[in-house]
Amino acid sequence: MEQTIAEPATSTTRLHADALTLAYDGRTVAEDLAVAIPDRSFTVIVGPNACGKTTLLRALARMLKPRKGMVYLDGEVITSMPAKQVARRLGLLPQSSIAPDGITVADLVARGRYPHQRLLRQWSREDAAVVERSMAATGVADLAERLVDELSGGQRQRVWMAMALAQETDLLLLDEPTTYLDIAHQIDILDLCAELHATEGRTLVAVLHDLNHAARYATHMIAMRGGEIVASGPPEEVVTAENVERIFELPCRVMPDPETGTPLVIPKAVRKSA
């Protein structure tokens, strides 16, 4: 059986972690994790439900303090850094985002500038320009005066993305950004992520459920099972029939996607008795 070994964390990457034990209250989710996010990559974390994908992302984003081990951002232990300092370097799009009642699109996106506000530096022309650019990049500029709670799911997701972009961070973490979206809006959001990565050189880290979407868009993949990283590397090395069956317990064939040439997972058909 093919084995793809997860690479050890290394201080040469801006975001990495060593010997992580992650837990909620008394329940341990993962132990002794080592992970390095390649700079300027579009890294996608995949794996079956409850394998620790979101838990790992939360630890990388400083939302969950490891029980053991350390997460490092630019050579510093992320949990020891002030929250505003982290927010100026790392943006986060959480899985479930709830906007305040009665807030407009422009006002919500403007909240992305909060990490840059200081006692002697309040709202500026630069902030306004960044908000406008972020809304334009995500295609929501024409919705600026609309209330967020009046928008469709796909539109709201783009607005949250715009707020994350307004932080102007080179690192952007996204927890299941396509959840609850129809297929067209899923592709829309992932195309936007790919464009941000390709044209602006941002490092993106996303948790995705759809393995074929992950293989199509990722430049680097991390596959988890049972709280362990069991495979990592380029999609063509991670998404093999052997790995998919080992990680997801899904017998399948893997072939090149006719549109992109990236790995495409085809589950084996159930043979029906006559």
Whole-angstrom Cα distance, residue 204 to residue 61?
Answer: 12
pLDDT at 196 > cutoff 70? yes
Q: pLDDT tens digit string along 58-95?
A: 999 999 999 999 999 999 999 999 998 998 899 998 87
Q: Beta strand pairing status for 203-207 and 42-46?
A: parallel
pLDDT at 259 > cutoff 60? yes
Write phi, then psi, for 26 (nearest 5 degrees).
Answer: -95, 5
Confidence label for 274 from pLDDT (cuts 50, 70 and 90): low
Share of the chain above pLDDT 70, in %: 93
Q: pLDDT tens digit string along 105-151?
A: 999 999 999 887 766 667 888 899 999 999 998 889 999 999 999 99
Confidence label for 7 from pLDDT (cuts 50, 70 and 90): very low
Whole-angstrom Cα distance, residue 100 to residue 77?
Answer: 32
Q: Looking at residues 153-158, what average pLDDT do you find? A: 86
Q: Looking at residues 166-179, what average pLDDT do you find? A: 90
Task: Print the SS3 string covering 156-204.
Answer: HHHHHHHHHHHCCCCEEEEECCCCCCCHHHHHHHHHHHHHHHHHHCCEE
Give residue 214's pLDDT.
97
Q: Looking at residues 216-236, what average pLDDT do you find? A: 97
Is the separation of the CB atoms in 212 and 265 below 8 Å? yes
Give residue 2's pLDDT.
41
Pick 69 or 271 by higher pLDDT.
69
Whole-angstrom Cα distance, residue 156 to residue 140?
Answer: 9
Whole-angstrom Cα distance, residue 223 to residue 221?
Answer: 6
Residue given tokens 């890294």 in the structure block: 43
Q: Beta strand pairing status for 15-24 and 27-37?
A: antiparallel
Give residue 38's pLDDT.
96
Give the number of C-alpha atoms closer than 13 A to the C-alpha of residue 113, restricted to the C-beta side: 22
Give the tokens for residue 148: 């967020």
Q: pLDDT tens digit string along 93-104?
A: 887 778 889 999
H/E element holding 134? helix 125-137
Q: pLDDT tens digit string along 22-44?
A: 999 889 999 999 999 999 999 99
Query: What does the mean pLDDT of the chain come to?
Result: 90
Give the tokens for residue 31: 């132990």
Complete domains list, the chain, with CATH: 15-237 (3.40.50.300)
Whole-angstrom Cα distance, residue 110 to residue 232?
Answer: 36
Q: Can you give the pTM of this predicted structure?
A: 0.87
